Amino acid sequence: MADAVTSVSVVGISGSLRSASFNTGLLRAAAGVLPPGMALEVADISQVPLYNGDVEARGFPEAVLRLKERIREADALLFAVPEYNYSISGVLKNAIDWVSRPSSESPLDGKPIAIMGAGARLGTGRAQLHFRQVAVFTNMLPINKPELLVMGAVEKFDPRGNLIDESVRERLRELLGALARWVRRLRGEAG
Ligand SMILES: Cc1cc2nc3c(=O)[nH]c(=O)nc-3n(C[C@H](O)[C@H](O)[C@H](O)COP(=O)(O)O)c2cc1C
């Protein structure tokens, strides 16, 4: 069955907690342009506490266990990465730090991912590069192209953080198509 489309489940993670976040809005928009066979659910990282090795030694918090499980079950992850002080946001790094522990049981290990971001003039380029550095040690497997850096986000989203720019929507569609192909390639499927 050369044309069979196998399913690809994706968990989306936004590095911004604000309700009108452009980055969370990008994830919502992604749900509207999924390629055939792909499903996307957005994970909530707002309840993940600050990483503390003493807390880890006593037992992982519920919110962390839930996030780890969702990531483990997903075929791929889609990260929406806001840029804070030329890097990724603390809440995103903190969530990654928790999920990566213990490294021998990290659900990030070998996980196919795509990275995108919406911001000001440089469209989160510096944050996305930093995120790729984090992906090296955690052994996530990012696609390199296409890139999705949404510049001038304030003009491309409405005040509630909903995407209103059709060219960004089209690039989002291309990114998701590339992620689906990447997952299927890693599975050893044709195409
Ligand atoms: C602490 C902080 C640092 C920021 N640093 C940068 C930065 O280095 N570069 C940039 O382009 N925007 C920076 N911004 C602006 C954010 O990228 C912008 O507020 C963006 O909309 C945040 O993403 P969100 O809309 O998903 O919440 C910063 C914002 C905050 C709150």
Do 116 and 29 contact (CB within 8 A), yes or no? no
Cβ of 20 closer than 6 Å to ligand 1, yes or no, is no
90 C-alpha to center of ligand 1: Å?
Answer: 12
pLDDT single digits (tens) 42-73? 999 999 999 999 999 999 999 999 999 999 99
Q: Does 153 map to a domain?
A: yes
Predicted pLDDT of residue 75: 98
Give the separation between CA 37 and CA 8, rounded to whole angstroms: 6
Looking up residue 129, the CATH number of its domain turns out to be 3.40.50.360
> Does the beta carbon of 157 lie inside 6 Å of ligand 1?
no
pLDDT in tens, 89-127: 999 999 999 999 999 999 999 999 999 999 998 989 999
pLDDT digit string (tens) for 144-187? 999 999 999 999 999 999 999 999 999 999 999 999 999 999 99
CB-based contacts of 103, cutoff 8 Å, min separation 6: 109
* Pocket flag, ligand 1, residue 21 (CB < 6 Å): yes
Ligand 1, atom nearest to 23 Cα: 26
Q: Confirm whether 1 is domain-assigned.
A: no
Residue 142: strand, helix, or coil: strand
Q: By C-alpha distance, which of 178, 97, 96, 187 is closest to 142?
A: 178
Residue 1 predicted with pLDDT over 60: no
Residue 14 forms part of a structural domain: yes
Judge whether 143 and 73 are in contact, CB under 8 Å. no
Q: Which two tokens stand for residue 53?
A: 């090795």
36 compared with 3, residue with greater pLDDT: 36
Whether residue 36 is preceded by a cis peptide bond, meaning omega within 30 degrees of 0, is: no
As for how many domains the chain has, the answer is: 1
Read off the pLDDT of each residue in 21-44 and give the average, rounded to a whole number: 98
95 located within any domain: yes
The finding on whether 18 has its CB within 6 A of some atom of ligand 1 is yes
Does the pLDDT of residue 2 top 50, yes or no? no
Percentage above 90 pLDDT, the chain: 95
**Residue 142 pLDDT > 70:** yes
Check if 120 has its Cβ closer than 6 Å to any atom of ligand 1.
Answer: yes
Q: Is residue 130 part of a domain?
A: yes
The conformational region for residue 48 under phi > 0 = left, psi -120 to 50 = alpha, else beta, is: beta
- Using the Cα atoms of residue 143, residue 183, residue 94 and residue 16 in order, give the sign of their dihedral: positive
Domain assignment of residue 119, given as a range: 8-186
Q: How far is the CA of 130 from the centre of ligand 1 (A)?
A: 14
Q: Is residue 21 part of a domain?
A: yes
- Give the sign of the dihedral formed by CA 79, CA 88, CA 91, CA 32: negative
CA 92 to chain centre: 10
Distance from Cα 3 to the centre of ligand 1, integer Å: 43
| pLDDT exceeds 60 at position 3 | no
Looking at the domain assignment, is residue 146 inside a domain?
A: yes
d(CA 1, CA 19): 44
Asked if residue 2 is part of any domain, the answer here is: no
